Amino acid sequence: MAKSKTKSAKSISLKKEISQQLTAQLTTSLPALKEILGEKKFENRIKKAARLLTNGIKEKAPKEIKQEKKKASKKKTETSEPVIVEK
C-alpha cells in the first residue's frame, strides 16, 4: 500500500515556488533562444538561471530584517518620555 502525495497536499517551500515561477516566466519570454539552443540545452540553462536568481532566498526572515526590527523597537523606547529622578 503506497500513499500518494500530491503537491497541493504538500506545502511547497518559498524558494521552490519562486524558482518554478521564474522558470515559467523565462520559458515564455525567451522562445527565440529555445529555437537556437535546442530543447535540452535551453531547459538546462533556464534551470541554472532560476537557481542562481533564487540562491539568496531563505525560508525565514533574513538577519538584517530581524536586526532592523530590534533597532526600531529600541529607538521607540529611547525616544519616549525621559524619566527624571530627583534625589
Write down the domain spans for the chain: 14-62
Res 14: pLDDT: 84
Q: Is the dihedral of CA 48, 54, 59, 60 positive or negative?
A: positive
- pLDDT tens digits along 33-84: 999 999 999 999 999 999 999 888 776 655 666 667 677 666 655 555 666 7
Res 61: pLDDT: 55
Which residue type is seen at 65? I
Res 73: pLDDT: 67
Res 20: pLDDT: 93
Residue 14 contacts residue 57 (beta carbons within 8 Å)? yes
- The CA dihedral of 62, 67, 69, 72, to the nearest 10 degrees, is -150
Whether pLDDT at 6 is above 60: no
Helix (H, G, I), strand (E, B) or coil at 83: coil
- pLDDT tens digits along 21-32: 999 999 999 999
